[in-house]
Amino acid sequence: MPRTAVADRLRISAKFAVVALLAAAGLSISGPAGAPLFAQQQQAVQVDLDNPEAAGKDHNEFVFVRDSAIATEKLALAEKMERLKEWPKSADLYQEVLEKYRDRVVSVGPDAKGMNTRYESVSWKVLQRLSKWPQEGLDVYRGRYEPKAAELLSSAKGDNLAPLYEAFRKYFVTEAAKQAGIRLIEASLERGEYAAAAEIGDQLLTMYPKENLVAERPSVLFRTALAYLLSGSPDAKAKADERARVLTADFPKVMGVVRGKDVVLADALSQEFKALTGGDQGIPTTATTDNWPTFGGGPSRGVISSAKANPGTRLYSLALAKPNFNAPNGATRLQMQQAFDEASKQGFNNGIMPVVDRGELFFQDGTRVYASMLESGVPLPGWLQSYPETPGSTS
């Protein structure tokens, strides 16, 4: 095979691997016309891997990904029951899809050429449909699934946030899920996970049924705006200002508790903005990005991080897998274990060099590879999907 052809195949394979990993992690990539393109379908999707912005052009490179025909059929049936106002049947079908096929995608519909090039997450589609249900439908859904969501909410103790996340994602339109989301915002702010707090706040503000988020809306607006301001992302100031304007316009005199005191939320948010931005100076920014792709930060191996520790910075630890000593007998294995323990006490085993890419942490200890979210330490969803038998993000 010509060398050029081999290189082309390798390049296509590598890009397909990235697309597949994004889909496994529940993420999306930009497709034609900026539409979400999820890398899971059974049909051939014709896309330009080297120039994704060249929408509408003819291509001769194909990527094969997976979708779910079963999920598509059940969603169609659920929507039919929804139109007929058969709320119990529709609720059960939507919930089945959400629980069994949440990592799959379905086609948005064929484009002008009759090709399926746009896809959306199954879970996202279900939540969008349920969020638009009338009150009679929501009452039926909550009657069936509110107890399960409430059980998850009550089981969340201390720093164990997993039940809150499960209630929020699986039973989003229930009252318990709303309370779980509010608690997650508070917990994320306390841990310094500002981007996560802002994302959850926006989901409540934009998707949760408005008639059921009335008393809590000013508080959620306040904390979402503050989370965006603290996150320091490139468009953080604009998003924070937008939510602050809504709070000031719609709830100018609403009181809330901030730092243990009853205050006017709009006024308190304005003071927070001034304190954090230095008046009109804008949000302080650092010179580096959220990337630390190799040892030493970059090709020069001499990059120095300009990150600064702030109040609320999240500290966590990741347990390393126990070494598996390949020894011919128990006595030799014991000697190797003792030597390893002694070296650990003296600090000789602290040679792990992590790398960071867009909020994801990767490192290896000479035996296994680890992949986790930088802010929370939780293993990457795609990683756990590939290696479910090895908890702790190890392979």
pLDDT in tens, 218-243: 999 999 999 998 887 778 888 999 99
The reply to whether 298 falls in a domain is no
* DSSP β-ladder status, 355-357 and 360-364: antiparallel
The reply to whether 271 falls in a domain is yes
> Is 277 found in the same domain as 222?
yes
Higher pLDDT, 329 or 30: 329
Lowest mean pLDDT among 61-65, 250-254, 341-345, 357-361: 61-65
> Is 175 found in the same domain as 80?
no
> Is 345 found in the same domain as 276?
no
pLDDT for res 70 = 87
pLDDT at residue 86 is higher than 70? yes
> Is 259 found in the same domain as 369?
no
The reply to whether 303 falls in a domain is no
Higher pLDDT, 135 or 303: 135
> Is 100 found in the same domain as 27?
yes
Out of 124, 158, 187, pick the residue that ends a domain.
Answer: 124
Lowest mean pLDDT among 162-171, 279-288, 323-332: 279-288
The reply to whether 55 falls in a domain is yes
Confidence of residue 366 (pLDDT cuts 50, 70, 90): low
The total number of structural domains that make up the chain: 4
Average pLDDT, rounded, for the chain: 75
The reply to whether 386 falls in a domain is yes
> Is 105 found in the same domain as 8?
yes
Confidence of residue 191 (pLDDT cuts 50, 70, 90): confident
pLDDT at residue 204 is higher than 90? yes
Higher pLDDT, 185 or 374: 185
Confidence of residue 30 (pLDDT cuts 50, 70, 90): very low
pLDDT at residue 4 is higher than 60? no
**Could you identify the residue written with the tokens 């000697």?**
335
pLDDT for res 284 = 39
The reply to whether 88 falls in a domain is yes
> Is 380 found in the same domain as 346?
yes
> Is 349 found in the same domain as 248?
no
pLDDT at residue 217 is higher than 80? yes
pLDDT at residue 172 is higher than 80? yes
> Is 120 found in the same domain as 141?
no
> Is 91 found in the same domain as 3?
yes
The reply to whether 309 falls in a domain is no
pLDDT at residue 61 is higher than 80? no
- And the tokens for 338? 């003792």
> Is 252 found in the same domain as 187?
no
The reply to whether 306 falls in a domain is no
Torsion of CA 19, 20, 23, 27, to 10 degrees: -40
Q: Are 150 and 156 in contact (CB under 8 A)?
A: no
Higher pLDDT, 106 or 18: 106
Out of 213, 241, 256, pick the residue that ends a domain.
Answer: 213
> Is 240 found in the same domain as 228?
yes
Give the domain range for residue 388. Answer: 318-395
pLDDT for res 353 = 73
Out of 213, 239, 267, pick the residue that ends a domain.
Answer: 213
